[in-house]
Amino acid sequence: MVRAERKGVLYDTFQEMNLVAIGWSVAGDFTQNPESHAILAALHKAYPDASEQTNRVAAGQIARFISEIEIGDHVITYDSNRRVYAVGLIKGPAVFDETKVSLGGETYAYIRFVEWLGEVDRDALSQSARYSLGSLLTFFQIKPFVEEEIFAALEGRKEPSRAEDEEVQNIETVSEGDIAERSIELISDMVARLGPDEMEHFVAGLLRAMGYHTKVSAPGPDRGEDIRATPDPLGLEDPRIVVEVKHRKGAIGAPQLRSFLGGRHPADKGLYVSTGGFSKDARYEAARASIPLQLLTLEDLVELVIEHYEKMDIEARAMVPLKQIYWPLA
> Between 152 and 164, whose confidence is greater?
152
Residue range 262-288: average pLDDT?
A: 92
Burial class (CB in 10 A: 0-12, 13-18, 19+), 8: buried
Q: Alpha carbon of 285 to those of 49, 80, 242, 293, 315: distances in Å?
A: 43, 21, 17, 10, 34
Give 150-159 pLDDT, tens digit per residue: 999 999 887 6
Coil, strand or helix at 164: coil
Q: Is the CATH code 3.40.50 the one for domain 6-123?
A: no
d(CA 301, CA 297): 6
Beta-bridge partner residues of 88? 75, 116
The burial class, CB within 10 Å (0-12 / 13-18 / 19+), for 280 is exposed
Q: Give pLDDT, residue 268.
A: 92
In the chain, domain spans? 6-123, 196-319
Per-residue model confidence as pLDDT tens digits over 196-243: 999 999 999 999 999 999 999 987 665 678 999 999 998 888 889 999
C-alpha torsion sign, points 203, 209, 211, 216? positive
pLDDT of residue 104 exceeding 60, the answer is yes
Measured CA to CA in angstroms, residue 114 lies from 73, 76, 270 at distances of: 10, 10, 39
pLDDT of 135 over the 90 cut? no
Paired with 21 in beta bridges are 111
Q: What are phi and psi of 242, to 5 degrees?
A: -95, 125
Please, which pLDDT band fits residue 248 given cuts at 50, 70 and 90?
confident
With cut-offs at 50, 70 and 90, classify the pLDDT of residue 70.
very high
Is residue 10 within 8 A of residue 111, CB to CB? The reply is no
Sort strands 268-274 and 240-246 into parallel, antiparallel or unpaired.
parallel
Please tell me the least confidently modeled range out of 41-55, 95-109, 123-137: 123-137
Dihedral, CA atoms, 177, 272, 196, 252, nearest 10 degrees? -90
pLDDT in tens, 281-313: 999 999 999 999 999 999 999 999 999 999 999
- Cα separation, 139 vs 144, whole angstroms: 16
Residues 169-192: pLDDT tens digits? 444 445 555 667 778 888 999 999
The answer to whether residue 55 scores a pLDDT higher than 80 is yes
User: What is the C-alpha separation between 289 and 302, in angstroms, rounded?
Assistant: 25
CATH architecture classification, 196-319 = 3-Layer(aba) Sandwich (3.40)
Q: Which amino acid is at 199?
A: M
139-166 average pLDDT score = 80
Q: Quote the pLDDT of residue 325.
A: 79
| Among 19, 194, 40, 177, CA closest to 109 | 19
pLDDT band at 116 (very low <50, low <70, confident <90, very high): very high
